[in-house]
C-alpha cells in the first residue's frame, strides 16, 4: 500500500521483505546518529523473522522522495490498562540528514497518528534521548508532551537471563 502525502514527490508505504536491507541500513544510520552504533547486533535474518515471520512483532513504513528512500519508522502495538485500549508505540523514526527540514518526519508521524486512530488506539507514544534538543523541540511543536516523571527500565543480555532464571 502506498500513500501519497501533501509533499509533492513524497510517498509512504509499508515495508515488505524485499526492504530488509534498506531497513537495516536505516537502523545503522539511526544508531550512528544516536552514538549507539556498537549496540546494533541485529541482522537481515533476524529482521526477516521479527518483522515478516510467523509472528510479526513490529511494522515498518518507509518514506520515499522521488523514489529514493529518505526515512523510516518502526512501530508496534502496546496496551494501556488505564485506557483499556491498545496504543501505538514508535520505536524508531529517522530521516536522512540531507533531507531533514522538508517535512518528511512530520509526514511519517502524521501517518502513524492517523493509523493509531484508525486502529482505535488510545495513545501514540515514543521516547527521545534527553540530549536530542532538535527532536524534542520538533515533537513538542506537534503537541507531544514529555513524560519526565517516567523512567524507562531495561533488562538485557545476561541480566535478562539471570532474572528469568529466578522463576522456577
Q: What is the pLDDT of residues 80-95, one digit of tens each?
A: 999 999 999 999 999 9
Element holding 38 (H helix, E strand): none
Domain spans of the chain? 2-165
Cα dihedral: 54, 52, 154, 24 (round 10)? 150
Q: How confident is the model at residue 157, as a pLDDT?
A: 92
pTM to 2 decimal places: 0.93
Q: Which residues are catalytic?
A: 139
What is the DSSP-derived secondary structure letter of residue 148? T
What ranges make up the beta strands (E) of the chain? 2-4, 10-14, 59-65, 68-80, 85-95, 123-126
Q: How many residues does the chain have?
A: 168
CATH superfamily of 2-165: Gcn5-related N-acetyltransferase (GNAT) (3.40.630.30)
Q: Using 50, 70 and 90 to split pLDDT, how confident is the model at 38?
A: very high
Q: Write the pLDDT tens digit of every residue in 42-101.
A: 999 999 999 999 999 999 999 999 999 999 999 999 999 999 999 999 999 999 999 999
Amino acid at each position: 500500500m502506498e500513500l501519497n502525502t501533501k509533499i509533492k514527490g513524497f510517498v509512504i508505504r509499508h515495508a515488505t521483505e524485499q526492504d530488509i536491507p534498506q531497513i537495516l541500513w536505516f537502523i545503522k544510520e539511526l544508531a550512528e546518529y544516536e552514538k549507539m552504533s556498537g549496540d546494533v547486533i541485529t541482522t537481515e535474518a533476524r529482521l526477516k523473522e521479527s518483522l515478516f515471520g510467523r509472528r510479526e512483532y513490529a511494522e515498518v513504513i518507509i518514506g520515499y522522495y522521488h523514489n529514493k528512500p529518505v526515512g523510516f519508522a518502526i512501530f508496534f502495538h502496546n496496551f494501556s490498562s488505564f485506557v483499556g485500549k491498545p496504543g501505538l508505540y514508535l520505536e524508531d523514526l529517522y530521516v536522512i540528514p540531507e533531507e531533514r527540514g522538508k517535512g518528511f518526519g512530520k509526514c511519517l508521524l502524521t501517518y502513524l497518528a492517523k493509523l493509531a486512530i484508525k486502529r482505535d488506539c488510545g495513545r501514540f507514544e515514543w521516547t527521545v534521548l534527553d540530549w536530542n534538543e532538535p527532536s524534542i523541540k520538533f515533537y513538542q511543536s506537534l503537541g507531544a508532551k514529555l513524560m519526565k516523571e517516567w523512567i524507562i527500565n531495561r533488562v538485557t543480555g545476561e541480566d535478562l537471563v539471570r532474572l528469568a532464571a529466578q522463576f522456577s
